[in-house]
Chains A and B, each alone.
Chain A
Amino acid sequence: MTVRIIPRLEIKGPNLVKGIRFEGLRVLGKPEAFARHYYEAGADELIYVDAVASLYGRNSLLDIVERTAAETFVPLTVGGGLRSLDDIREVLRAGADKVAINTAAVQTPELIRDASRKFGSSTIVANIEFIHHGDGKYEAYTDFGRESTGLDAYEWALRVAELGAGEILLNSIDRDGTGNGFDLELTRKIAEAVPIPVIAGGGAGSVEHASQVVREGGADAVSVASLFHYNLIKTLPQDDEAFDGEGNTEFLRKGGGNTRLADCSISELKAHLSAEAIAVREAA
């Protein structure tokens, strides 16, 4: 199986945002524009995560999903604030292929089981966002990193797999946006224990981190945000169309960069993986 490279786009209102450890969200542009670019550049899938769970709010996530699905023809996973079978159905109807569920699953684990029976297990991605407290202790968090759950992330992963989730999307909150590399220990532990694919996310700071999490972490897919966003942003025109004035746009207005990361394009990342003898779908 080829390793999937999946840009992760976090959305707040009308804008694509990115923070560090889920905080200090900077506006980077319009999610549709980034998604279209990543599609053309050979992304194997796309992930949208709504940071403020605004499914039915103003600038509805559904509108963004619909516009994206009209222009991109690779699988789109959408998460953030989906609470019921009806919510899931709405997002699928808008053009999503899969949904990522975190908070609602922690509150009502049966939602995973019911949703996978209803929509097919392959449509249901369990999104596990976790913090490493040290000494191999990993805790799952909900509400975009704001609420602790007391759940051990590894135990929770086993549970969601049993309940019928089709994939697990891992995201390290303490590594998110830092460029410090993926959490290899928990990724490996979960990837070896569950019979379903594991997508590693949170911490990519260089192409080497991606090959490392495949080789040492056993990841089936790699989700990448800052690494790609801060590369793409250098080449996108920053005109009036580029972003909506809402949110923290200071960074864009100042034309800043991100020196924490050895940023790269999708094809650069895939070329690195190929050179490391990790099979990938050739970028278009």
Chain B
Amino acid sequence: MNGSAPLVAVVDYGLGNLYSIARACEHVGLEAKITGEASDLQSADAVLLPGVGAFADAMAALKERNLVAALKETAFAGKPMVGICLGLQLMMSESREFGAHEGLGLIEGTVERLPEDEPDALHDQGRMLKVPQVGWRPVSQPSAGRWIETPLADTKPGTFQYFVHSYYVKPHDSSVVAAVSSFGDTEFCAAVKKDNIFACQFHPERSGPDGLAIYSNIARWLSEGGFTQ
């Protein structure tokens, strides 16, 4: 890695698939630093908030490490921020996973549980709809909101991405929705783009070449000066 590669701080709060994310960053020419230090967030070119785990535990872990304020400052300073899976959910104002919990509040909206099927309902090609939703789903362009002006730009609508989640985000402002996907009859927000923030419910670092293409775009945007376009 040469010295001019943009530096991404991958936020380490004791949970998560940090290594997969760091590898995906490096694969597209970004320098990834896995860190739990607020000062590293300040000095990085971008901050990536990853996501495996339960909402309340994750918020508690961020607080314990004094990262809540640092993440809010990063967002308000206009530094490019990326959220993945739970990372996206943490950016919302509130979640209802195991009780109501306050989030980072970077995006106005809530985190909701995927609707569970009735035990005898057979909605999915003869199989029950299961929560967590685990697997590959096509990701599409939202009716309102944007796609083109996000790191999804070079991804063909309908491309499969890998999801592992029991909850999804519901932004109050539909114009921040960058992509949608579905769970049975429920259409949900699969990605958000708001100012300097891009965040997705799926795992682009686990979605093969089509996911890496999103990381490539993030890398290109960072080397061209940021997300606020």
**Which residues of A pack against B, CB within 8 Å?**
1-2, 4, 39, 42, 44, 66, 69-70, 73-76, 89, 92-98, 116-123, 166-167, 191-193, 195-197, 214-215, 218-221, 278-279, 281-282, 284
Contact = CB atoms under 8 A, between A and B. Distances in A.
A166 B135 contact: no
A218 B134 contact: no
Contacts of A122: 52, 132, 134, 164-166
B24 A73 contact: yes
A69 B86 CA distance: 20
Contacts of B134: 4, 122, 166-167, 197, 220-221
B125 A44 contact: no
Contacts of B162: 44, 74-75
Contacts of A197: 130, 132, 134-135
B53 A70 contact: no
Nearest to A2: B136
Contact of A75 (B54, B125, B128, B206): B206
Contacts of A218: 126-128
A21 B98 CA distance: 41
Given A93-B19, A120-B53, A221 B128 contact: no
B124 interface: yes
A166 B163 CA distance: 13
A215 B203 CA distance: 28
B205 interface: yes
Interface in B102-133: 116-117, 119, 124-133
A73 B208 contact: yes
A123 B166 CA distance: 11
B93 to A, nearest CB: 21
A118 B16 CA distance: 10
B166 A95 contact: no
Contacts of B54: 116-121
10 contacts: A1-B124, A93-B18, A117-B54, A192-B128, A195-B116, A195-B131, A197-B132, A214-B127, A219-B127, A279-B125
A75 B52 CA distance: 13
Interface string B141-159: 0000000000000000000
Interface centre among A69, A75, A118 (most CB of B within 10 A): A75
A119 B15 contact: yes
B206 A95 contact: no
A73 B208 CA distance: 5
B116 A118 contact: no
B73 interface: no
Given A73-B206, A278-B125, 6 more contacts: A1-B125, A1-B127, A4-B134, A73-B23, A191-B128, A218-B127
A279 B125 CA distance: 9
Contacts of A195: 116-117, 119, 128, 130-131
B186 to A, nearest CB: 13
A138 B119 CA distance: 23
Contacts of B136: 2, 4, 44, 281
Contacts of B133: 1
Interface centre among B128, B131, B209 (most CB of A within 10 A): B128
B169 to A, nearest CB: 16
A280 B39 CA distance: 44
Interface centre among A98, A166, A215 (most CB of B within 10 A): A166
Interface centre among A39, A94, A220 (most CB of B within 10 A): A220
Contacts of B27: 73
3 closest A-B pairs (Cβ-Cβ)? A95-B19, A281-B136, A122-B132
B127 A118 contact: no
Nearest to B206: A75
Contacts of A118: 15, 53-54, 57
A192 B117 CA distance: 12
Contacts of B135: 1-2, 4, 44, 197, 220-221
A197 B125 CA distance: 14
A94 B20 CA distance: 8
Contacts of B127: 1, 191, 214, 218-220
Nearest to A92: B17
A175 B136 CA distance: 28
A89 B131 CA distance: 23
Interface centre among A42, A122, A221 (most CB of B within 10 A): A122
B211 interface: yes
B38 interface: no
Nearest to B14: A89
B13 interface: no
Contacts of A39: 208
